[in-house]
């Protein structure tokens, strides 16, 4: 059974917190292509340009989630996307307390504002991490009903955020939706963050740089191209509220790819062997994480368009065009 998604004749305005980040900018573009108004909220102005057809529907406004004035934003929008998360798995592991202060506390302040009767009709879509909240899976592919048992501080932070969202949903009736996202990749990803192994490896393959793999390279992850991800997020955020609207939804490819398979794909695509070295295993890396996307397929009337090979090919082309790297 699928849920009705409004057409563009209903002009919702979407606020994207963390709007200049990797996911936020792609979601903004997908919304603007539907002629839906978007407010990008972040500390930094965009360092990129949207296509001319999309640009009139998108505007940027300064927002620091550590010192927000949420009501000023909420009175002008219908849907809130929360993609801001000021840490990486490595950073969170070093200082879990700071990770909670920087990420969960600002979210609670937003939830408090949404619980006000002036804002109770707004929708909230939160980006959680399907790659970390489930921990060591008891079944693969992993359904949304799997218990949450994170093995990292980053995953624990996301679970804490989900817990507060569920509390505000049940106690105040806020329309909150949780997207448990797999491993997104594609052009525009921050290559210096240490996240996004597929995109990082693609850039290194083009430059001929050394690639370091933790462990044996046999760990399996679920990789989704950012264009497929953004389409699913737009559909999830735009769903009309009903008794079957899911509280949480896995958004992924539903397919597993090992780190060694990434290397083989890239070698084939660039036409030469890559410079690869292997380092010690990390204790928190689970052997496999692949998400069950049956509910997303059914409820959103959506399926990923790109295979991993096709998504990686597109990523390489985008990296060459945007970075003026040598042609591969």
Instruction: Report the alpha-carbon distance of residue 83 to residue 38 in Å, rounded.
Output: 14
Instruction: Report the alpha-carbon distance of residue 12 to residue 276 in Å, rounded.
Output: 48
Is residue 113 within 8 A of residue 49, CB to CB? The reply is: no
23: containing domain: 13-185+225-253+291-304
- Counting the structural domains of the chain, the total is 1
Whose CA is closest to 126, among 168, 180, 78, 69?
180
Residue 250 pLDDT > 90: yes
Whose CA is closest to 43, among 100, 122, 102?
102
Tell me if 118 is assigned to some domain: yes
Tell me if 247 is assigned to some domain: yes
Confidence tier at 161 by pLDDT (50, 70, 90): very high
Mean pLDDT of all residues in 244-264: 95
- How much is the pLDDT for 47? 84
Tell me if 282 is assigned to some domain: no
Share of the chain above pLDDT 70, in %: 95
CATH number for the domain spanning 31: value is: 3.40.50.720
Residue-wise pLDDT tens digits, 36-92: 999 999 998 988 889 999 999 999 999 999 887 898 999 999 999 999 998 888 889
Expressed in angstroms, the distance from the first to the final Cα of the chain is 44
Tell me if 130 is assigned to some domain: yes
Residue-wise pLDDT tens digits, 101-153: 999 999 999 999 999 988 899 999 999 999 999 999 999 999 999 999 999 99
Residue 32 pLDDT > 90: yes
Q: How far is CA 162 from the centre of its chain?
A: 15
Report the 3 state secondary structure along 232-276. HHHHHHHCCCCCCCCCEEEECCCCCEEHHHHHHHHHHHHCCCCCE
């Amino acid at each position: 059974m699928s849920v009705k998604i409004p057409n563009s004749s209903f002009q919702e305005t979407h606020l994207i917190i963390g709007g200049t980040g990797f996911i936020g900018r792609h979601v903004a573009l997908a919304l603007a292509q539907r002629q839906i108004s978007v407010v990008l909220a972040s500390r930094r102005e965009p360092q990129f340009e949207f296509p001319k057809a999309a640009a009139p529907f998108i505007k940027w406004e300064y927002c620091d989630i550590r010192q927000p004035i949420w009501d000023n934003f909420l009175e002008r929008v219908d849907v809130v996307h929360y993609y801001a998360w000021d840490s990486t798995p490595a950073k969170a592991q070093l200082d879990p307390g700071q990770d909670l202060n920087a990420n969960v506390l600002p979210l609670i302040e937003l939830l408090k504002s949404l619980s006000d009767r002036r804002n109770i009709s707004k929708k909230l879509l939160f980006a959680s991490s399907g790659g970390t909240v489930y921990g060591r899976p008891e079944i693969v592919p992993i359904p949304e009903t799997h218990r949450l048992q994170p093995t990292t501080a980053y995953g624990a932070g996301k679970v804490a955020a989900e817990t507060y969202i569920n509390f505000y949903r049940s106690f105040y009736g806020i329309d909150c939706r949780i997207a448990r996202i797999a491993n997104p990749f594609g052009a525009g990803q921050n290559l210096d963050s240490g996240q996004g192994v597929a995109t990082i490896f693609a850039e290194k393959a083009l430059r001929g740089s050394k690639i370091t793999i933790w462990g044996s390279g046999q760990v399996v992850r679920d990789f989704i191209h950012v264009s497929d991800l953004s389409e699913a997020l737009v559909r999830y955020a735009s769903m009309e509220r009903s008794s079957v609207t899911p509280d949480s939804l896995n958004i992924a490819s539903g397919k597993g790819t090992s780190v060694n398979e990434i290397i083989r794909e890239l070698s084939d695509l660039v036409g030469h062997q890559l410079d690869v070295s292997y380092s010690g295993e990390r204790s928190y890396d689970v052997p496999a994480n692949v998400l069950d996307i049956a509910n997303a397929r059914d409820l959103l009337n959506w399926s990923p368009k790109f295979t991993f090979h096709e998504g990686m090919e597109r990523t390489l082309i985008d990296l060459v065009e945007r970075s003026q790297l040598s042609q591969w």
